[in-house]
A and B are shown apart, each in its own frame.
Chain A
Amino acid sequence: MKTRTTRAVQCSATLLAAGLLLTACGSSDGSGSGEQAGSTSFKGRGPITYAAGKDSSGVVQKVIDRWNQLHPNEKVTFVQLPTDADSQRQQMIQNAETKSDAYTLLSLDVVWTSEFAAHQWIDRLPADQFPLQKMLKPVVETAKYRGGLYAAPASSDGGMLYYRSDLLKKAGIAEPPATWSQMKADCAKVKKLPEGQGMSCYAGQFQKYEGLTVNFSEAVNSAGGVVTDANGKADVDTPAAKQGLDFLAGSFKDGTIPKEAITYQEEDGRQAFQAGKLVFLRNWPYMYSLAEKSKVAGKFAVAPLPGLNGPGSSSLGGHNLALSSFAKNKATALDFMKFFTNEDSAGTFLKDASLAPPYANLYDDKSLDQQYPYLPVLKQSILHAVPRPRVVQYGDVTSAVQQEAYAALSGSKDSAQALKDLQKALQNSTAQ
């Protein structure tokens, strides 16, 4: 009898241990994180930290070192987070939920601003202390929540259309396409060339992940629709949005987009373009220097994204600098934010790591244009860009967009039904 009980105890202990792994992630204490709202006093000087994703170019440390030399008593330490954006967000949220002061400044992806601001994980910033009027307007918009500035724009990013200039020239096309129908017509011409045999026309990022949200939003915006309106309300069940989604879904059906592109993330598309399989590709600026070193070097160029009736609009990428509500030494933090996001630093980031600056005039710099021939196109792309939905529950919104867009692209739902379902899902998740 005794051994039986002991055994039972031992058994359940083992099973419980197995169960721990499942439940541990779910436990957190229910207490809130509410403190002051709105007005923040930026007091205290001393060492601070800057938390951002891994920086492979080393330029972040270089800029921080420059600051540390000038301010030996207010040193900044660079806390490197994982490369993966989701893990970065997770660590920042954990830091906020435990009200830790480990991270002073957070490098936020542009789509996180609303969520972090609404949870009061980051402080509202004095807008008059940042040179916002010198920055590109769409970029500044990504740093705002309900009209207040919650982050300082540090870097931006916009999609561009990469195209095979050599093939277009051979096919007698002088200008890159500005509309989707022009693009399809150009493709048909290129495919008639001997070099164009077996090539596919167009690709973007259509795997079920954040890239799909970007590509879907771009298609909808480029056709004149919106995913969410200026107030963050869903308004995607419209004829314009349908035309945008129909372009993508139809292109999959008629082979303009190769079937395998449904598995493409940025890198897959780049590989295909560099292997000469694609005439057109939507991708970010980072690809430019890599493609320059590949088989297609000198044979490609960039243009603004095409749209339904004229140039399309890109989604906005990039990172903003935000101040954690639970941090110490906020006066130093504010100064460092100004330093880190000033024109000088932005120039360094552009030169060393080809990060698109938020400042308008850097794009017009002749010497930089020589190093980065795509800058004028990128400026156009960012100027016409539309931020992705700026809502608190961004995670749910992007999930819903991916769910429905993927269903439409893979042909398991027609586009009208997909948009209808998306509208409903978005209303649910933005209602809270």
Chain B
Amino acid sequence: MVHTKVPPGTAEHGTGSEAGGRSGRPRAPMGRRGRITAPSGPGRMAALLVSPTLLVLSIVVLYPTIMALRESLYGPKGLDPATGFIRTTEPFVGLRNYADILGAAGDRFWNAFWNTTFFTVVTVGLETLIGVAMALIMHKAFRGRALVRAGILIPWAVPTAISGLLWRWIFNSNGVANAIIGHQILWTTEGFHAKVAVIIAEVWKTAPFIGLLVLAGLQVIPKEVYEAARIDGAGPLGQFWHITLPLVKPALLVAVLFRCLDALRMFDLPYILVGAQKTSVETLSMLAQNEASNVRFGPAAAYAVILFLYVFLIALGFVRLLGADVVGDRAARAASRSGRRRRATAMRVTEVPA
């Protein structure tokens, strides 16, 4: 520690200084001093190794995001009444697109905002319940289990656009849904029933996704824990509440988070199943698409940015409040808790050469 004021080239005497001086950089320090500066070595290496990923991310993620932000500050190209042609440049309008969205088009925006939120809360809630139930069924060992698993997963494999068409057929005025309930509901007209139609189709399609992730979580719970619980006299409900649920929580939270992000940008299902510009089911993505399809990229970008911020905040809230573990280091930590000692030694072993 006391040596730190001395210039690096001269800090250590002997062979080290010469080599260090020639390369113009201090050699990897050794001994006591090495303990302190060591992180910079592997750190630099890590940065080097991560940099291609970061580069790719900044090209495919950061750049489009910034471009969208920039675009959202430009208005649509106007029509020149003299020539009858659209002007060639987009005027810079500052934050007017945002002001318009919240002001002039406010009713439509807030309606879409609440629709989006409503769909997200209801569909993700239902999907979680049904998905967990599916996972519990898929997890049980019984004859034909593979078949049930495959069967449950089929809706997830169907592309959303196709399932939208499928359900539009079911919800047709003369469709299966009306035949079953024996009463004609015009599902694709404005009204609460249109929301119900979208929710049913969405839950049908994506509950298996949650089921799948929860199933993966269930499979890592050791059997011994259940045996111990049974010996202690815990019933099936107690086992589920005190063992299954807490142990599957990390997987479940990630699944719910992903579903939330997905549901917030819901577009194709309401668009295809019920139709464009139906107030009852219009979501934020549909507003952005509507603007973009009318060649007004500025306002479209503004909608997209608002939705992006909304999604971002929700995701951040998830990570902060519920401790959803997106990246996976918590899971590793939790898993290592049982065999902490062994893992710890292993880590020390791997750390030493570095």
List chain A residues, Cβ under 8 A from B62: 16
Q: How far is the CA of A11 from the CA of B87 in the complex (A)?
A: 42
Is there an interface contact between B64 and A20, defined as CB atoms closer than 8 Å? yes
Residue A120 lies at the interface, judged by CB distance under 8 Å to chain B: yes
Contact residues, B66-100 vs A (CB, 8 A): 67-72, 74, 76-79, 83-90
Is there an interface contact between A23 and B173, defined as CB atoms closer than 8 Å? no
Which one, B71, B187, B305, contacts A30 given CB within 8 A? Answer: B71
Is there an interface contact between A207 and B188, defined as CB atoms closer than 8 Å? yes
Residue B288 lies at the interface, judged by CB distance under 8 Å to chain A: yes
Residue B55 lies at the interface, judged by CB distance under 8 Å to chain A: no
Give the interface centre of B184, B188, B189 by most chain A CB atoms within 10 Å: B189
Is there an interface contact between A32 and B276, defined as CB atoms closer than 8 Å? no
Contact residues, B10-55 vs A (CB, 8 A): 39, 43
Taking the nearest CB of chain B, how far is it from the CB of A109, in angstroms?
14
Number of residues on chain B facing chain A (CB within 8 A):
67
Chain B's closest residue to A407 (CB) is B190
Taking the nearest CB of chain A, how far is it from the CB of B354, in angstroms?
14
Is there an interface contact between B293 and A208, defined as CB atoms closer than 8 Å? no
List chain A residues, Cβ under 8 A from B289: 25
Q: Mark B151-188, 1 if CB is under 8 A from A, else 0.
A: 00000000000000000000011100000000010111
Number of residues on chain A facing chain B (CB within 8 A):
59
Taking the nearest CB of chain A, how far is it from the CB of B257, in angstroms?
9
List chain B residues, Cβ under 8 A from A118: 79, 84-86
List chain A residues, Cβ under 8 A from B174: 260, 271
Q: Check A25/B292 contact, CB under 8 A, given A30-B74, A120-B86, A259-B186.
A: yes
Chain B's closest residue to A262 (CB) is B189
Residue B319 lies at the interface, judged by CB distance under 8 Å to chain A: yes
Residue B196 lies at the interface, judged by CB distance under 8 Å to chain A: no
Q: Check A17/B189 contact, CB under 8 A, given A2-B39, A145-B84.
A: no
List chain B residues, Cβ under 8 A from A129: none
Chain B's closest residue to A96 (CB) is B295
Residue A238 lies at the interface, judged by CB distance under 8 Å to chain B: no
Q: Mark A177-192, 1 if CB is under 8 A from B, else 0.
A: 0000000000000000
Residue B216 lies at the interface, judged by CB distance under 8 Å to chain A: no
Residue A113 lies at the interface, judged by CB distance under 8 Å to chain B: no
Contacting chain A: which of B123-131, B133-141, B230-238, B307-315? Answer: B307-315
Contact residues, B287-333 vs A (CB, 8 A): 288-290, 292-295, 297, 300-305, 307-308, 311-312, 315-316, 319, 326-327, 329
Q: How far is the CA of A13 from the CA of B54 in the complex (A)?
A: 9
Q: How far is the CA of A185 from the CA of B310 in the complex (A)?
A: 57
Residue A77 lies at the interface, judged by CB distance under 8 Å to chain B: no
Q: Mark A28-65, 1 if CB is under 8 A from B, else 0.
A: 11111110010000000000000000000000000000
Taking the nearest CB of chain B, how far is it from the CB of A27, in angstroms?
4
Q: How far is the CA of A393 from the CA of B319 in the complex (A)?
A: 44
Instruction: Give 15 A-B pairs besides A20-B65, A23-B65, A26-B300 with Cβ atoms closer than 8 angstroms.
Output: A11-B319, A14-B326, A16-B62, A19-B308, A21-B265, A24-B64, A27-B301, A30-B89, A32-B87, A207-B275, A263-B172, A263-B173, A268-B173, A395-B294, A402-B277
A-B CB contact pairs (8 Å), 13 listed: A16-B61, A19-B61, A20-B60, A27-B67, A34-B85, A117-B84, A118-B84, A119-B86, A145-B84, A208-B277, A262-B189, A432-B76, A432-B79
